[in-house]
A and B are shown apart, each in its own frame.
Chain A
């Protein structure tokens, strides 16, 4: 059993994070995208602190001069809203029917389910209200639908507030997370990338729900199969599938426990550092620069600051900007200049396996290009130096026939 992850944020840390956010800037709740970013790049301190402090990264990115490209078309928005409203219409009859059919067919059929009012002031108030409703529902022994509950999850030492689409309490007192998405389930199958994203997101909700469950006595079980509700084929009738999120839950739990403590990152920042979007661009750039980032192209799909970090990564000629796998192959060579110098024999230790492999790669590549008639016309030589192994010249002559096998 891991130690309970939700705890009171120390007032000092809360104060410090508010300072970093800037005076009078409200904290932004951790949304689905931030959760995806958490899973895609757990080691990034920049993202960890900015998310932890509740900085609005969209505004920050614009203020830095590299606005994020995320946006939602109003068509998609309307369609998504209409679909969710349809699924939850009529006291959630359709939704509960799907939960009953897909997850708990042996239970009594849901009729006249309880739908408590979860309205309260502020995220803390809503979280408390949700926990109360969950406790009551578990004791009631019937079906209960919680529409947009608010859950709290301790992320790197500060609470993140999460809002799942719905949570259903079964008659046997177990809890299920429901995720409603507007991408279609076509002939029983949906886009695997989108289902994967939904599963990762739901897994975070399951973790937060488990925290809430741990505070109830006896501890109710949170089901590890979530219900994914999507439009069926080309209609907007709902259909659903149970998605097992145990793997995603385990991965997320592990990442959450190894997240660098926000406190430590915050303490490393000099006094007076602030990320308020109304500060001048140079000050913001300097402030963001104090936070080390680990940019990889995957960030483009998950983080609002990705374009800023990409520009920085490219300016520093980091090899990761062409893909994470590049980094894995190249050992200790982290910049484009280092790699090319090593490949072309002007630097690097030939005994280093990465350097030796690079030289072989460069030689084979130059030889193949020359044999196809590329060598003379353009390229191959980047900085005007001769590639290692002038013997590639005679090899080129020997296999000038074009096809490599003669």
Chain B
């Protein structure tokens, strides 16, 4: 936590309201996101209890597994989920635009530009909290290796047709969510915490209800009071007034309400199975339906408040103007979505359980690069983020006090003007350090020459007012001529902001193809076309 964020948190403590830590929205929000509020069964891995899902805030679909340990009921839930998620995803696969991509020509080995399809927009999945992101990944993992009856007629428990496909998509969403700055799958708590500082710790910010209470408390109530109530207040029955955003449920809810309801459902089901004639069966079917309805009501009662809170959070975020670089990052998400669409169309096998060495190294390098890109872009888009970088000595802003024209030595002298900037900031400038400013969206580089004094080169603070004079030599983006192009060199009196970090990220060293993996890294992976085996099912797998 940087000092500037700490300060914002303490201001929030003192004022009882969350404070902005961003002045623009740093993530893309779709016009039509698919909101997914799942609940899981405590103690079981990947045993969903139910979910609210949909794109219409007024009409979510409720999916419930009345006995989470029953495999068939779970498959029914996943099939229903597939029927909602896959049409939503498919709606984005068909509208494409032409885009250029650089590829290596397999014959000549040269880098050539090719025109390929790029999906014009991409789906966006929104979950309440970071645990929800993990749950999406877990669901994806639990489904993508399942076999349908069509794929494998001998499988003892075939999955419904579209479930493995849903698993592959959820895996892709989950994997993409690990990429810094991506917006295919977002958690509302992360989004809100990125834009507001509350008067509580980041651990407590994981609670969607209390986070919202700080940002937008009901009425004039102080945020801390509202947050405390959201977090801890219980009704006469011992149930939380604001249920946790999940996917884990409150133990008191499990023990007092859910367990009896599931038991009643089990009893009704065995009673139905034991019915001896049609009339009796009719009665008992009624009882079973009522028992199932009871579980459904319970699940809805715990997910609906979270559903509303998610949309409330989205409303707050939509009120912020979008950052200038956000569309650029969303385009990367669209590339990622298009690439996965192509892999599925091409009939490639599901994502492997464990990445091979080269893929893993590539993923890590890409994440590091995207993190650096995100940090730079957020600072360029948002003066408040830039303020943090300036405080850290990684950027400085100030007024141009002097511009002296100078030229490079050599056969064809190019302009290398010396610009003096007066700043209150304390940048950590080393000898000939490179600095950058944004010029029409492109970075312009300059190098640090020295600190200027009142008369010529000196150090530090000539006027004794805390301001320093920094002399920079502008290096590029001034055109090809002897005279710099108009507007490409700052003028006296201009306000400028230079960063010590680069604005754009270059790709790192190229890694070998997976087939060329050296033995030090495990050697080439096995047959890439091999379809991974499904998870073994055991008798004990009575989830």
Point out residues on A near B: beta carbons under 8 Å: 69, 71-80, 86, 182-184, 186-188, 231, 233-237, 297-298, 300-301, 307, 314, 317, 319, 321-323, 325-326, 329-330, 336-337, 339-340, 343, 357-358, 360-362, 364-365, 367-369, 371-374, 379-380, 382-383, 395, 398-399, 402-406
Cβ A187 vs Cβ B353 within 8 A? yes
Cβ A86 vs Cβ B259 within 8 A? no
What would 16 more interface pairs be, CB under 8 Å, given A365-B4, A368-B23?
Answer: A71-B250, A72-B42, A72-B251, A73-B43, A76-B251, A234-B142, A234-B543, A235-B536, A237-B538, A323-B202, A361-B3, A364-B4, A364-B388, A374-B23, A398-B399, A405-B499
Question: Which residue from chain A places its CB closest to the CB of B134 in the assembled complex?
Answer: A191
Does B535 lie at the interface of the complex (its beta carbon under 8 Å from any beta carbon of A)? yes
Name B1-43 residues within 8 Å CB distance of A: 1, 3-4, 6-11, 13-15, 17, 19-20, 23-24, 41-43
Chain A contacts for B123, CB-based, 8 A: none
Query: A339: shortest Cβ distance to chain B, in Å?
Result: 5
Cβ A235 vs Cβ B538 within 8 A? yes
- Interface mask (B353-386 → A, CB under 8 Å = 1, otherwise 0): 1100000000000000000000000011111101
From B43, B202, B496, residue with most partner A Cβ within 10 Å: B43
Cβ A405 vs Cβ B43 within 8 A? no
Cβ A399 vs Cβ B536 within 8 A? no
Cβ A78 vs Cβ B43 within 8 A? yes
A234 touches which one: B13, B24, B41, B535 (CB < 8 A)?
Answer: B535
A372 to B202 CA separation, bound complex (whole angstroms): 25
A361 touches which one: B44, B251, B391, B399 (CB < 8 A)?
Answer: B391
B390 touches which one: A79, A322, A364 (CB < 8 A)?
Answer: A364
B44 touches which one: A74, A79, A372 (CB < 8 A)?
Answer: A79
Chain A contacts for B141, CB-based, 8 A: 186-187
Query: A317: shortest Cβ distance to chain B, in Å?
Result: 7
A73 touches which one: B42, B382, B537 (CB < 8 A)?
Answer: B42
Does B342 lie at the interface of the complex (its beta carbon under 8 Å from any beta carbon of A)? no
Cβ B23 vs Cβ A369 within 8 A? yes
Cβ B224 vs Cβ A314 within 8 A? yes
Question: Which residue from chain A places its CB closest to the CB of B19 in the assembled complex?
Answer: A379
Cβ B251 vs Cβ A71 within 8 A? yes
Tell whether A73 pairs with B254 under 8 Å between CB atoms, given A297-B204, A322-B201.
yes
Cβ B201 vs Cβ A231 within 8 A? no
Question: Which residue from chain A places its CB closest to the CB of B49 in the assembled complex?
Answer: A75
A340 touches which one: B1, B10, B204, B397 (CB < 8 A)?
Answer: B10
Does B93 lie at the interface of the complex (its beta carbon under 8 Å from any beta carbon of A)? no
Cβ B535 vs Cβ A237 within 8 A? no
Chain A contacts for B199, CB-based, 8 A: 322
Question: Which residue from chain A places its CB closest to the CB of B388 in the assembled complex?
Answer: A364
Chain A contacts for B252, CB-based, 8 A: 71
Question: Which residue from chain A places its CB closest to the CB of B202 in the assembled complex?
Answer: A323
A225 to B42 CA separation, bound complex (whole angstroms): 29
Cβ A75 vs Cβ B3 within 8 A? no
A335 to B8 CA separation, bound complex (whole angstroms): 14
Tell whether A336 pairs with B391 under 8 Å between CB atoms, given A78-B43, A233-B535.
no
Cβ B11 vs Cβ A382 within 8 A? yes
Question: Which residue from chain A places its CB closest to the CB of B259 in the assembled complex?
Answer: A74
Cβ A235 vs Cβ B541 within 8 A? yes
Cβ B23 vs Cβ A301 within 8 A? no
A406 touches which one: B259, B388, B497 (CB < 8 A)?
Answer: B497
Cβ A406 vs Cβ B45 within 8 A? no
B254 touches which one: A74, A374, A398 (CB < 8 A)?
Answer: A74
Can you list 11 A-B pairs with a CB-CB distance of less than 8 A? A300-B204, A317-B13, A322-B201, A323-B6, A364-B387, A364-B388, A368-B383, A395-B495, A403-B324, A405-B496, A405-B497
Chain A contacts for B104, CB-based, 8 A: none
A379 to B199 CA separation, bound complex (whole angstroms): 14
Cβ B384 vs Cβ A372 within 8 A? yes
Cβ B15 vs Cβ A371 within 8 A? no
Name B112-165 residues within 8 Å CB distance of A: 138, 141-142
Cβ A300 vs Cβ B203 within 8 A? yes
From B24, B224, B259, B386, residue with most partner A Cβ within 10 Å: B386
A374 to B22 CA separation, bound complex (whole angstroms): 11
Cβ B9 vs Cβ A326 within 8 A? yes
Does B438 lie at the interface of the complex (its beta carbon under 8 Å from any beta carbon of A)? yes
A79 to B42 CA separation, bound complex (whole angstroms): 9
Chain B contacts for A86, CB-based, 8 A: 540
A296 to B402 CA separation, bound complex (whole angstroms): 51
A68 to B262 CA separation, bound complex (whole angstroms): 27
A44 to B202 CA separation, bound complex (whole angstroms): 21
A183 to B14 CA separation, bound complex (whole angstroms): 41
A369 to B538 CA separation, bound complex (whole angstroms): 59
B46 touches which one: A234, A367, A395 (CB < 8 A)?
Answer: A234
A405 to B252 CA separation, bound complex (whole angstroms): 53
A147 to B8 CA separation, bound complex (whole angstroms): 52
Chain A contacts for B17, CB-based, 8 A: 379
A340 to B8 CA separation, bound complex (whole angstroms): 10
B13 touches which one: A231, A236, A322, A367 (CB < 8 A)?
Answer: A322
A71 to B234 CA separation, bound complex (whole angstroms): 14
Query: A229: shortest Cβ distance to chain B, in Å?
Result: 15
Chain A contacts for B543, CB-based, 8 A: 234
Does B232 lie at the interface of the complex (its beta carbon under 8 Å from any beta carbon of A)? yes
Question: Which residue from chain A places its CB closest to the CB of B398 in the assembled complex?
Answer: A395
Does B255 lie at the interface of the complex (its beta carbon under 8 Å from any beta carbon of A)? yes
Cβ B200 vs Cβ A322 within 8 A? yes
- Interface mask (B201-224 → A, CB under 8 Å = 1, otherwise 0): 111100000000000000000001
Does B249 lie at the interface of the complex (its beta carbon under 8 Å from any beta carbon of A)? yes
Chain B contacts for A307, CB-based, 8 A: 232
Chain A contacts for B259, CB-based, 8 A: 74-75
Tell whether A365 pairs with B354 under 8 Å between CB atoms, given A336-B10, A382-B15.
no
Chain A contacts for B200, CB-based, 8 A: 297, 321-322
Does B437 lie at the interface of the complex (its beta carbon under 8 Å from any beta carbon of A)? yes
Chain B contacts for A321, CB-based, 8 A: 13, 200-201
Cβ A379 vs Cβ B15 within 8 A? yes
B45 touches which one: A184, A336, A372 (CB < 8 A)?
Answer: A184
